[in-house]
């Protein structure tokens, strides 16, 4: 039981200040056409498709191809949607992720956007990782995604 409790305490939190309003960032994060432009860890990845049913209880799916040509799909359910300041959704990989050993359990993502007068303070919290390796892999992925988002919204 202590292992389960410990694993549920593994989380990452990333902060960025973006050169865009919270509404611009929220729209970029929730509109599939805009997400297609940035939602990937780097330019070496390709976003193959994005589906978003933006409502509490609605689902999303994102399929990406990595530089090795392997495709992976992540999806989940929206738990909270508060435009333009907050999103909470589950995050579940549909197939095994290369290099990861073990089960990739459902995790939880919270995106908070704070208005800084024309800029946005973004806080991304991703919780409930089953292992440190899963947390490390997602930290790398989210760091890249947030860099791609920053470039996209500052255009």
Q: What's the pLDDT band for 3 if we cut at 50, 70, 90?
A: very low
| pLDDT of the residue at 55 | 98
Segment 89-105 shows an average pLDDT of 78
| pLDDT of the residue at 102 | 65
User: Bridge-partner residues for 75, per DSSP?
Assistant: 61, 92
| pLDDT of the residue at 2 | 31
Q: How far apart are the first and last CA of the chain?
A: 48
Please give the structure tokens belonging to residue 88. 């909470």
Cα 52 to Cα 46: distance, rounded to the nearest angstrom: 18
Cα 15 to Cα 3: distance, rounded to the nearest angstrom: 28
Q: Per-residue pLDDT tens for 35-47?
A: 999 999 999 999 9
Cα 58 to Cα 24: distance, rounded to the nearest angstrom: 21
| pLDDT of the residue at 7 | 43
Q: What's the pLDDT band for 105 if we cut at 50, 70, 90?
A: confident
What rounded mean pLDDT belongs to the chain?
Answer: 91
Q: Rounded to the nearest 10 degrees, how much is the dihedral formed by the CA atoms of 55, 36, 91, 18?
A: -90
pTM value is 0.91
Sketch out the chain's domains with CATH numbers.
Answer: 11-153 (3.30.530.20)
Q: Which stretches of the chain are DSSP H helices?
A: 2-8, 22-30, 32-38, 132-153
Q: Per-residue pLDDT tens for 17-65?
A: 999 999 999 999 999 999 999 999 999 999 999 999 999 999 999 999 9
| pLDDT of the residue at 8 | 54
CA 72 to chain centre: 14
Q: How many CB atoms lie within 10 A of CB 83?
A: 13
């Amino acid at each position: 039981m202590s292992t389960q409790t410990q694993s549920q305490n593994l989380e990452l939190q990333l902060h960025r200040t973006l050169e865009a309003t919270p509404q611009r960032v929220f729209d970029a994060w929730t509109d599939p056409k805009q997400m297609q432009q940035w939602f990937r860890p780097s330019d070496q990845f390709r976003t193959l498709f994005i589906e978003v049913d933006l409502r509490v209880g609605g689902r999303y799916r994102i399929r990406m191809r990595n530089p090795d040509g392997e495709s992976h799909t992540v999806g989940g359910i929206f738990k909270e949607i508060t435009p333009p300041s907050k999103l909470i959704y589950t995050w579940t990989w549909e197939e095994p992720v290369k290099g990861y050993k073990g089960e990739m359990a459902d995790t939880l993502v919270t995106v908070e956007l704070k208005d800084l007068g024309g800029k946005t303070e973004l806080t991304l919290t991703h919780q409930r990782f089953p292992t440190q390796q899963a947390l490390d892999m997602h930290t790398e992925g989210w760091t890249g995604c947030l860099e791609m988002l920053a470039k996209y919204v500052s255009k």
